[in-house]
Amino acid sequence: MSARTKARKRAVDMLYGADLRGTSINEAISEAATRALTESGREESWNYAREIVVGIAEHGDEIDELIETYALGWTIERMPVVDRAIIRIGIWELLFNEQVPDTVAIAEAVSMANELSTDDSGKFVNGLLARIAQTRV
C-alpha cells in the first residue's frame, strides 16, 4: 500500500472520528499528530493526511456545497459518515491538489468506499466524483 493510500485512510479516520464525536477537525488533527509522533510507521503518511484534512477544513463550505449540488437525491446528513469523509477527500484531491490526477483521486475514493462502507457506496462515490470532475473540464 502506498504512502498516499495510507494517508487517505488516516484522513478518513480523522474526519470520521471528528464527525462521530462532534469535535472539530483541529482536535482530530491534534490527536492524530500525537499518535504520529508516538507510533512508528505513521510519520510517512502523516504529512499528506494532515494536508488533506487541513485542506478540507479550509474549503469545507465549498466542498459541502458541491456534495449537496451533485449528490442526486441525497443530503449530506443522510449519507453514511464514512462516505461523507471519503467524498470530501475525493473532492479536495480533485479540486485542490494538482499533484493527484482526477482518475487517481476517483479510483482511490471508490476503493476506500468499497472497502470501508456499504455495497453500493463505491458506485455512489464514483458517480458523484465523476460529475464533479466533469464540471472543471
Q: Which domain holds residue 29?
A: 3-135
Q: Please provide the average confidence, as pLDDT, over all residues in the chain.
A: 92
Q: What is the pLDDT of residues 122-136, one digit of tens each?
A: 999 999 999 999 987
Q: Identify the sign of the CA torsion 61, 51, 37, 10.
A: positive
By C-alpha distance, which of 106, 86, 8 is closest to 51? Answer: 8
Q: Say how many C-beta atoms besides its own lie within 10 A of residue 103's C-beta.
A: 10
pLDDT tens for each residue of the chain, 137 residues long: 788 999 999 999 999 999 999 998 888 888 888 887 777 666 677 889 999 999 999 999 999 999 999 998 889 999 999 999 999 999 999 999 999 999 999 999 999 999 999 999 999 999 999 999 998 76
The number of domains in the chain is: 1
Report the CATH number at residue 107: 1.10.940.10
Q: What is the pLDDT of residues 42-58, one digit of tens each?
A: 667 788 999 999 999 99
Does residue 101 come out as left (phi exceeding 0), alpha (psi in the -120 to 50 range) or beta? beta
Q: Give the three-state DSSP class for 3.
A: helix
For residues 33 and 10, what is the distance between their CA atoms, to the nearest angstrom?
11
